[in-house]
Structure 1
Amino acid sequence: MAVEIDDFFDEPANEKLENSNGKDVRLGRLALPNPIIDDLRDQNLPLGVLIPLKTDQEVYQDHYISHAYITRVPTKSANNFVTLLRDLSNAGNANTLPHLRRCAKPADLPAHLKTQLMNDTPTGRQIHTSKSTWIYVVVGESKDFSRVELLELLSEVEGVEKEPFLSIIPVPMMAPTSQIQAAMWSAQFWPTVYRKNNPLGPHPGMFARGTEDIKNDAPIWIALAHRVALQAKEAGIGEAMGAVIVQRNEKGAELVGLAGDARHYQQNGFGFENNPMSHCVLRAMSMVAQKLVRYERAVADQPMERPILEFDAFQDTPMLELEKECFEQEHPNKDGYLCHGLELYSTHEPCVACSMAVLHSRMGKAVFCCHMPRTGGLSADDRPDGGGRGLGLFWRRELNWSLLAWEWEGDGVPDLPLVDPTTHV
């Protein structure tokens, strides 16, 4: 679900500036002054929209529907029946649908189920047209139970019909990740419980706080990424793609590194087209690392010497004016681990290799503008043309690191040349 960014800011957290038209401009003081971005800070950049990415499990759940047995018993016998079900579960049929209400009154069923059950049998009509003394119960996934066993179990319950009611309905397999989704499923499938968490990804509160942290100054970093991207294209060293790395603390957000794409750069006549190790994200992270090494060697009173390489595949030496200006500035946190907790802003969604590098460098947040559905590594959305689901590398249970990630939509940034959808970024 998109998080709308409005124009309201608390007065103490902002500064008043005047643009060239004499109009008051309110900008969050989150982007700390820096000659590289001061002109962007002075502009009234549109704030845009930050859209949290879905994890692979969240995308998976959107397509995965299971089937469950439901039955009905007299309300006074409901506890007894649920106990019998639990005893049956001890044999290996554990409840796999804890997000669905175990018991539901006839009046609480979705409208289509009420209509169906009212017309099935005379008993059903009676139950749904008068004050009911019956209650419906979700048994569990149909694959986990034998119909014969369930009918035998129901025959042991006091007051059950001579021919017990037992039906199969479609149900969502995964738990809802929002109150809105729970309400939708309650209307479409069965009364559903939202437990104010997200078992399939970041807690909604994490995304809400993360959005609040970055929403005021994200347009500045996005605009800077576009600026260095255009420089890379104009210089002929790569595609129009750029990346910016930012550190945020209680004082605000400070620029740490930036880089344009350099996949076409030929060093001393050596090189090859579409060098994947010269993507803008990898280059930006390498420059951050070099700043840390530079500081460590200075403290140890050792010169900063680059290795002599006939050809450097990573092309992590600053080549563009913006890169050089940023690289000359010191790292604001010289004791940090590479990019631990830092924020990445890029013009395009990083490819799988760059996305894994983002994880290994321990980034805290990532924001990109152009979704790359065929080659991107952060998003888990379905790939077109039967390409399967994306990897959703920003948040996967089997990996030892995760981060928050958004797609950014907005105006106020220069148009970039279109790239082939199969391009890796």
Structure 2
Amino acid sequence: MDLEGVLQDIRPVAGHVIPIKTVQEARPAEEFGPALDSKFPRDPSQPLSHLRRFAKYPQLSDSIRTAFAQGEPSPHTIFVLISPPLPEKQAIQELLAPFAPAPQPPSQSSTDHTDASTPVPQSAPTPQIHIHTTIIPIQPPLNPSQAEKWTKNLWPVVYNPAAPRATIAPPPQILNRVHESIKPKTGRYLALARKVAAEAEQSGLGRGVGAVVVDPELEDQIVDMYGDGDEFDTHWTDAIVAVAGDARYSRREAGAMSEAEIQLGPGPNPNAKVYNSDMEGGPELHALMRAAELIACKRRGEVPSAEMMVRPLEGHFLAQSETKKVSEEKDEGESTVSAPPEKYQRTDEGGRAVPVSKQDEPVPRIRSRSQGGYLCTDLDVYLTHEPCVCCSMGMLLSRFRAVVFPRQGRMVTGGLASTPVAGPVADGEDEGVELEGQPERMYYGLHWRKELNWRALGFEFIEDEPVEPAAYDEVDYHA
């Protein structure tokens, strides 16, 4: 099998990349907005510092103003925002009544000789507290225009550029920088991931799921050295540090043969036609976790065991990882590429960070632990399918920089997306179209979930040409 020829024949998939919506962005505000809706209690710890606590009538939105049938109130009237959870309406009125000015008593007639200073508690008018419910934004605005829109339509808000926006979605500067970095090359890596997936499927060892791990630092070196023209077309695979396909049918249980070994001859495994949890192996045999394990083996200076069932494409890039980095392929006198920032490793000598200079020894594509390599830090992974919950958490702990998968590969069992599986469309909007007859539900949405220390940027690839909705007609399984 001429692997070099296979790689050169790969043609990029045409399409464009969009960021994955986080669960905070995808969750509809109506679920939290009505102030007295007891079915959706607000989190008492939710910070609402972006909302004005007090407001005057001219500052209110049109929707709140229309609630006053008697027209504009007194200029001295102050509107107070009381955020949920709320007590009973009567309790609020009793609480605020002492702070409200008492209504003016009716004027005395000329024939009334009653002493006006005499208190008449029974007939004294009670201050009237009007309570209205409204919808408020629970997250701070992301820009001044959004703050202005929310103030006009909901409740007066304040835009603070220093607010911790990263709890809602990735910071725009980082997101845009990574998006621009991966956009030109995503089609190539996804095309290779499909080749790896096909190899995994035809081997009978797993389902048709593939992963390609890329070092963006090597990408930059290739572009600096060869440009992004025809020369790059020849060297684009030099930035790949590992590929891996699914191998869920390769596990041996209690010394018995694996499902792949039971099958006679090459070709897709018959178990792939259905979903049987007893035949699916574990998440460590999924493509993403196998790619992380291959990289971990190189970090530790080990050789992958025979149980890993390394296939030709996987072995090819595993061997390539031993070669020097792109910037070292030129002679020292001819090199025009600046050295990458020094990597640091922790030592036992008082926790002192020791720089590892590439002048000491040639640095391979996958640095060992002694050379500063650590997990999958700052690497990008391209997948044919949305990873399952276990793999998504493994990706989080492995410290990848970015993850990209095609919208066609969105899975109902996937762990990243926050919106329902959508039919592939040639635009950037995800309407969250559910399959007909299926109940609408929220998906796991681990991507940038504020409860997690999430840092991997998630992207979806939308193909330009119409594609078959493979996520619909396949058996639901965990990728």
Same fold (TM over 0.5): yes
Q: Report the Cα distance in structure 2 between the residues aligned to 1:188 and 1:115, rounded to whole angstroms.
A: 12
Q: Is the Cα–Cα contact under 8 Å of residues 175 and 194 in structure 1 kept in the other structure?
A: no
Q: Give 1:162-201 correspondences, 5 Å limit.
A: 163-172=127-136, 174-176=138-140, 178-179=142-143, 182=147, 185-196=150-161, 197=163, 198=165, 199-201=167-169
Q: Is the Cα–Cα contact under 8 Å of residues 246 and 344 in structure 1 kept in the other structure?
A: yes
The answer to whether 1:65 aligns with 2:52 is no
Q: Report the Cα distance in structure 1 between the residues aligned to 2:62 and 2:440, rounded to whole angstroms.
A: 37
Q: Give 1:87-126 correspondences, 5 Å limit.
A: 97-104=48-55, 106-117=57-68, 120-121=69-70, 125-126=71-72
Partner-residue secondary structure (3-state), 1:112 = helix
The answer to whether 1:393 aligns with 2:446 is yes
Q: Report the Cα distance in structure 2 between the residues aligned to 1:62 and 1:190, rounded to whole angstroms.
A: 13
Please identify which structure carries the higher strand content. 1
- State the 4+ residue runs in structure 1 displaced beyond 6 angstroms: 266-269, 412-416
Structure 1 pair 266/195, CA: closer, same or farther in 2 (3 Å)?
same
The answer to whether 1:257 aligns with 2:221 is no
Show CA shifts across 1:238-284 (max 9, x none).
22211111111252581111112222347797224322332111111
Q: Is the Cα–Cα contact under 8 Å of residues 226 and 414 in structure 1 kept in the other structure?
A: no
Output the amino acid matched with 1:423: Y
Q: Report the Cα distance in structure 1 between the residues aligned to 2:102 and 2:182, rounded to whole angstroms.
A: 60
Partner-residue secondary structure (3-state), 1:213 = helix
Structure 1 pair 231/333, CA: closer, same or farther in 2 (3 Å)?
closer
Partner-residue secondary structure (3-state), 1:155 = coil
Structure 1 pair 195/52, CA: closer, same or farther in 2 (3 Å)?
farther
What is the deviation of 1:317? 3.3
Q: Report the Cα distance in structure 2 between the residues aligned to 1:416 and 1:230, rounded to whole angstroms.
A: 18
Q: Report the Cα distance in structure 1 between the residues aligned to 2:129 and 2:80, rounded to whole angstroms.
A: 12
2:365 aligned to 308, 327, 332, which one? 332
Q: Is the Cα–Cα contact under 8 Å of residues 67 and 168 in structure 1 kept in the other structure?
A: no
Q: Is the Cα–Cα contact under 8 Å of residues 366 and 405 in structure 1 kept in the other structure?
A: yes
Q: Is the Cα–Cα contact under 8 Å of residues 415 and 443 in structure 2 kept in the other structure?
A: yes
The answer to whether 1:274 aligns with 2:280 is yes
Q: Report the Cα distance in structure 1 between the residues aligned to 2:46 and 2:320, rounded to whole angstroms.
A: 58
Structure 1 pair 44/407, CA: closer, same or farther in 2 (3 Å)?
closer
Q: Is the Cα–Cα contact under 8 Å of residues 50 and 215 in structure 1 kept in the other structure?
A: no
Q: Is the Cα–Cα contact under 8 Å of residues 155 and 164 in structure 1 kept in the other structure?
A: no
Aligned to 2:97: 151
Q: Report the Cα distance in structure 1 between the residues aligned to 2:184 and 2:59, rounded to whole angstroms.
A: 43
Partner-residue secondary structure (3-state), 2:52 = coil
Identity of aligned residues (%): 27
How many residues matched? 339
Query: What TM-score results when the alignment is normalised by the length of structure 1?
Result: 0.67
Gap runs ≥5 in structure 2:
37-43, 105-124, 223-235, 260-278, 322-363, 422-433
Q: Give 1:7-406 correspondences, 5 Å limit.
A: 39-40=9-10, 46-55=14-23, 57-60=24-27, 62-68=29-35, 97-104=48-55, 106-117=57-68, 120-121=69-70, 125-127=71-73, 133=75, 137-141=79-83, 143-144=85-86, 146-155=92-101, 163-172=127-136, 174-176=138-140, 178-179=142-143, 182=147, 185-196=150-161, 197=163, 198=165, 199-249=167-217, 250-251=220-221, 254-265=239-250, 270-272=257-259, 273-276=279-282, 277-293=284-300, 296=301, 304=303, 312=307, 316-319=308-311, 321-330=312-321, 332-334=365-367, 335=371, 336-370=373-407, 372-381=410-419, 389-406=442-459
Partner-residue secondary structure (3-state), 2:131 = strand
Q: Report the Cα distance in structure 1 between the residues aligned to 2:392 and 2:293, rounded to whole angstroms.
A: 14
Structure 1 pair 292/415, CA: closer, same or farther in 2 (3 Å)?
farther
Q: Report the Cα distance in structure 2 between the residues aligned to 1:397 and 1:126, rounded to whole angstroms.
A: 41
Q: Is the Cα–Cα contact under 8 Å of residues 65 and 170 in structure 1 kept in the other structure?
A: no
Show CA shifts across 1:145-199 (max 9, x none).
62211122223899xx984553222223521453465455434422333434524
Structure 1 pair 329/142, CA: closer, same or farther in 2 (3 Å)?
closer
What is the deviation of 1:318? 1.7
Structure 1 pair 136/346, CA: closer, same or farther in 2 (3 Å)?
farther
Output the amino acid matched with 2:136: P
Aligned-residue RMSD, C-alpha: 3.8
Q: Is the Cα–Cα contact under 8 Å of residues 396 and 402 in structure 1 kept in the other structure?
A: no
Query: What TM-score results when the alignment is normalised by the length of structure 2?
Result: 0.60
Larger Rg: 2
Q: Report the Cα distance in structure 1 between the residues aligned to 2:469 and 2:298, rounded to whole angstroms.
A: 29
